[in-house]
Structure 1
Amino acid sequence: MVTTKTEEPANGAGGVVSSIRGALAGPIAGVCSRFITYPPDTIKARLQVQGAAIHNGQKLYTGTWNAVVQVAQHEGLPGFYRGFGAVALGSVPANLAYFGGYEAAKALVPAGWGMLGDMAVGAGAQLLAGLVFTPVDIVKERLQVAPLMRGAYSYSGPGQAVRELIRQNGLRGLLKGYWATNAVWLPWNTIFIAAYEGSKRAAARAGATQATARDGRPGDAAAAAGEAEMHAASEAAAATSSSTRSGSSEEELSPLVLGICSAGSASLAGVLTHPADVVKTRLQVLSACQAHARTTAWSLAVHMWRTEGPKVFMTGLGARIIQLAPGTALSWVIYEPIKKVLAPPHP
């Protein structure tokens, strides 16, 4: 007979405990990953915005590597970390909201929803986290691209950027582009979480199959029965929804496997949502200019299409994937073990 690890309830007290664990583990994972991946995020933001900030009739950067070289030459290491102070401070509440929302959604989504349940979990986590991420994102991106926007604004640091946002548009200024942000991150998270949870289940099934083949004994009735029971358990786990997906086999996945699952899923979601990310970045940056104060995401996208062509919507994709894939992998490779450490001991 196969013995399994006692699992927390998918709802009630167990759901609350999971949410608290996620809220505590998330900020640690988020700050570590953002520090490592912040430089390519700065390059991505500048590449996306420079089409609206032409210098002397031509673009400042010819491509990703050229942008890296120029920032290094003219601004040094601090240039790659413009606005990181806002991100470091904002990452704590933002990741608390995201990972806490992720665990809470897992507890609330009914069993048996499969991939649809995974997508619902991703959407729930993003809608909650977006309320915190949006102000952080606006301040971060305006500071990142400040050298391209001389004359439009000049901030001495995150504090002044926040004060200016509030002065110009009231508290609503802190949520400028909330739905434009969600136009990127809502589909990104639904795709990412569905792909991530699905790939984890596939990896767990593959591991269980290999273990069964390695440990099986031909002609041994007890072993055959155990193999059949393990196979049935594996199939049941595959059909289980995201609200009960934290089975023991998945909990035992190695950091390397978790990293591959999360990096691959993040890259897929990043490619599919990149056009919306370009529009979102420009909207948040250009809204600092009086001439663009009333610009909407749709009108901006139409203008970009007419003046720069369709290729503009893939600007900075390489830098974004370089930032997304390792950053997301690092976040989840750190998050999953910390969450297990914070788990109450099983009776």
Structure 2
Amino acid sequence: MISTKIGYNAVLKTELVDDLHKYQVPPAPAGSFPYRLQLEHEDKLKGKMVFHMTGDTGGTESSEQQERTAKQMTGQYHGADQKEDQPAFLYHLGDIVYHFGEAAGYVNQFLAPFECYPAPIYAIAGNHDTDVDPDSEEPYESLEAFSTAFCNRSSKTIYFGEEGNRKSQVQPHVYWTMESPLAIIIGLHTNVPKYGYINREQRNWFVGELKNAAENHPDKALIVCMHHAPYSADVNHGSSRPMIEFLEGAFRDSGVKPDAVFSGHVHNYQRFSKQYQDGKMVPYIVAGAGGFDELHQLANPLDVTCDTRSQLFEGLQLENYCDDRHGFLKISIEKTPFSFTLNGTYYAIPFDQQIQEPTAFDHFTIDLTGR
């Protein structure tokens, strides 16, 4: 169905790209199966957990926009009225560097721009982080630099960023689960192809993590993060049939649906809601406007290269979007004896650098009371 409020909804590109040959074998894990990481200092997050989220912050043209994004999030951290309102971390939705995942790109595109960000940074890898430059003078393995920066058994100096203060992260694998007192966040690795690809091994792991969350953590929010956007109304990528079918199959086989799905890949902000037949409403949120200079506009619904009537879009509604400014999300999960909510605000960064504060462009609430 087409949104009557906005006039747009998700699209599928009719001119599909077959690039599965770009698939890269994931590296060996840094931790043990089932690749779960428990947040440190979790006792501070029992009643309220705040964190940032954005994707596609890399870029080779200039680091100006990455720096502005990092600066705005840093300002929110230092400007918090109370300690509990300070973001505990940034969850990066992928494409940290462009256009390939060489170590040389991390300093200018990530480490330097985010040197000022005071909280830990966790991440899933994007297609550009995963891809390998065939013309590189120094051969390297897929996700070699990403693993050095994010997937280590212990936090240590990053060899290609020795001049900075940020140490490596201790994620157990390129797909992994973050465990916290208020939320379970499952991060997927969707590889290089334009519409994403997930192998059977990761699929089986994902189904198991959904079941584990429902059986052992029914009192926590369940969030899924992935780089390739399942649903999108943009003109450049459009929606990903492989990712939609992957998620729907995993939800069916596990008998579990998450409370929200976040993705990047598309360089804009979009918030969809999907009403399932069992009554569950799941927000699908794209937040891929973190810094790459080129933004992706929404497609004309009448464009013949876009299909808006696919059965995959049943129950789907585009609630809001921002395709002309960079931005980031601030997520707050709060539990009291009487309520349990996930609140999200999307902040759009103004083009005018004289304006210091970002605009609270969109807000959404997910009521989890009764879990």
* Interval of TM-score (by shorter of Structure 1 and Structure 2): under 0.3
Q: Name the TM-score, length of structure 2 as normaliser.
A: 0.26
Q: Which has the higher strand share?
A: 2
| Greater RCO, CA 8 A, separation 6+ | 1
Larger Rg: 1
Q: Name the TM-score, length of structure 1 as normaliser.
A: 0.27
